[in-house]
Each structure stands twice: as C-alpha cells, then as structure tokens.
Amino acid sequence: MRKTAPLALAGAVALALSACSGGGPGSEDPATGEITYWLWDSNQLPAYQACADAFTAANPDITVKIEQFAWDDYWTKLTASFVGGSGPDVFVDHLSKYGEFAAQGQIVPLDERIEQDGFDTGIYADGLLDPWQYADGSTYGLPKDFDTTAFFYNADLLDEAGITAEDLWAADWNPDDGGTFEDIIAHLTVDANGVRGDEDGFDPSDVEVYGMGINPNFEETGQMQWANFTGTLDWDYLDTNPWGTRYNFDDPEFQKAVDWFYGLAEKGYAPAAGVFSEETLTQVGSGSVALGTNGSWATRSFMELDGVDVGIAPGPVGPTGERASLFNGVADSISASSDKQDAAWQWVQFLGSTDCQDIVAEHAVVFPAIPESADAALAAFEEKGWDVSAFFAYEEEGRTFLPPITLRAGEVNAVASVAFEDIALGNADADSLTAANDEINRILAE
C-alpha cells in the first residue's frame, strides 16, 4: 500500500480564490442566491462559518446556509434527501461513501468545471485527490482535509500507574498475546478494590477504570475500533483498493486480531459493548478510561476536556514491524439535485482553496489538504501547546492506508456492522466473519 506524506509537499503551489467564475458546463442556473452546505463535525462549524462569511464578502450575490448533523444522522438524512430530491447543494463527502452516490448519479462530476476554470488540483498534498476519482476516472470531490487516528490518554492515570508517554510510543502489539501494548492497558485497568488488571485478585466483573476504551462504532472500516491494530498485519480490506471486488474479512490473521480486540472486554481491560454509549472523548473525560482511539479531528475536544490532562500517542508497532493508521481525506461534493450548481461550484472552489483552508487552519481543528495550510494548522496547534506529532508518526515509521472504497458501500456496511457488533456482544466469534465476507462479496459481484 502506498505511503502518503501530506506535509512533505510544502513546496506545492498555493491557490487563492476570493471570487470564482460562473456558468458551468451545460448549465444555465445563475450563480446567485442561497445555497445549503451540510457537514457532520460540530467542531468544524465555526471554521466553515468563517469561510462562508469570507466567501459571501467576495461573492455578495451568494449566501451559504450551513447545517450540521451528527455522524449517524448525517448519512441517514443525506440518503433520504437524495431519494426525495431535496439534498443540500454541497456537502462534506467521505471516501467510503461517495462511490455509491456516484454510481447512482446523486453527485456531480467536477472535471469539466475544473478544466473550464483552470482550477489547479496540484495544490493538494500527495494521495488526497486520487481516491476521489471514481471507477470511470471522473472526479467527484475537492479535498478539504486529511486525518489519521491515535490514542488519546489521561496523563494523570498514566502517572498513577507508573507508565510514561515514552512507554506508549515504544509499545508493540501482536494478535496472540497483545504484546507490550496489552501489558500497558492491563496495568492501567483498576477494579473497584484498587487491584490492577495485571495483579493477583483482579476482578474483571467490577472495573472502576478501564485501560482502554472502545468506541461504539461498528463499521466496515474499523477506523474507530480495530484498524490501528489490523493495519499492522500483512492484510488489507480488499483485493485492490479503491474499487476492489473482494473483501478479506475471512483472513485467519485478521479474524485472530478481531477476536483479540473484542476479547479485551472479557479480560476486563476494556468496556463490554453497551457499557458506554458515547465515544472515547466522553469515556476518557469521565475518568473511567485511561486511553482510547480517536481521530486527529477530535484533538481540540480532547485537549479542552475539563480537569483532564490529555496526551496523544500513536498506535503500537505490529507484526510487520510498523505502526499503522487509516488515512482518510474528506472532500466537498455537489448534489446532482441542486438547482444552483454554478453557485455551488463557486463555493466548492472556495472550500478547496488556500483562502478557506487557511481560515480553517487558524481554528486548530483539522489538518487542511493544502500543505501550506496544513503547516499553518500545525503552528496553530503548537501555539496552544498541543502536541499532535502522533498523527504523523505513521508516515515516519509506519504505514497509512485507505478505507475500503467500493461500489454498494451502504449494503456492504449493513452486513459488516451487524457482524462486528455480534462479535462485540459475545454472540459470535470472529470466524463468523467468513460468512459475512461471503455475503459481502456476493453483493459486490452482482
């Protein structure tokens, strides 16, 4: 799998768009009026409102109405809006989702508009634009930011356990015994009697502090659960990515890793499914969890937790000798149902420009897709005293990999999410993924 180095291209040419041309290919709608823009991350709402204000100042005939929905609601509402012909003009799209939208003609290819306006797509960091080229070669989104995942930890709980940040950075992992990473989370776990998980007399049925939290997200990517571990195996989601036609959830080593991951709850080192209904942000913030996976997009929320001193460490080094993280880049797409596609395209160009991405950088919430803007974001994080180097450790000493990009992604996820949740609930072992994998591959073959 290709390594990506988003910040290595600091010499890339920057583009500033304050006003954009109108009149798209074959389009007669005027570039005026109000357009709607949907996103799912509430942390990014202030940054993009600032972008919208700057855009309207430069393009007074166009206003942008931003609507934000939580992740699960977002995709449900978006799918329903497409069916009803009432979708947003522009929306934040996801690599694991857009293939289905493109196949169904629900989003607009941008190539003719890019060529017509001479938009320089070379401004983006390496590896961010290519995945947005659909199976037919058409481009369906302009990159806005990128992310990796790491482990946010409660520094005070680590200190009490005698574990250092250096211990976490040096941790290794394997699916047989969990390596030194499991040793660490076992020692961080404390039962109601004050006994640690690696001490005699530990009671896994009455845990006060779990060594590692688990996000209640059961998706085919595993990004918020097991991907930091399975990414360190000689394994990938698909026979080829993007646009593969066969999943590899039937791989024995992958299944062994999944059994290890969900088996941590049986040992008492991690919460069982249903113990927490919120993500690791809430879990770590409550003081009931020492560390947990989350994405770079969540940095501000973790660092601003009241009364919790938070640090960040990358995932452990696995059997391949590398640490690993899913590497995702989101982009902005235009709905085919929009009757204001010229105005929507002007907004998408602005979102994909240095003008907007520099504004986003100042808010220290994500790493923008344009290298210079990403550098500005790093400076903003550093100014706040937030060390985000863990998110880049995979480029220097590990591996980054794409989420699975296929057709019929919604149907695939419907099968996969049920299968992984059954394992988490203790209703099945990971070898049950073989049957789920067969069903998924049948879907992709149809």
Give CA–CA dist 359/355, Å, rounded.
Answer: 7
DSSP 8-class letter at 222: -
SS3 string of 313-370?
ECCCECCCCCEEEECEEEEEEEECCCCCHHHHHHHHHHHCCHHHHHHHHHCCCCEECC
Q: What pLDDT is recorded for position 361? A: 97
Q: What pLDDT is recorded for position 21? A: 39
Give CA–CA dist 67/168, Å, rounded.
Answer: 39
* pLDDT tens by residue, 11-66: 222 222 233 334 444 444 568 899 999 999 999 999 999 999 999 999 999 999 99
Q: Indicate the average pLDDT of the chain.
A: 92
**Domains of the chain, start order:** 12-147+328-395 (3.40.190.10), 149-326+408-445 (3.40.190.10)
The residue type found at 110 is: L
Looking at the chain, the whole-number percentage of residues with pLDDT higher than 90 is 89
* pLDDT tens by residue, 260-286: 999 999 999 999 999 999 999 999 999
Average pLDDT on 107-118 reads 97
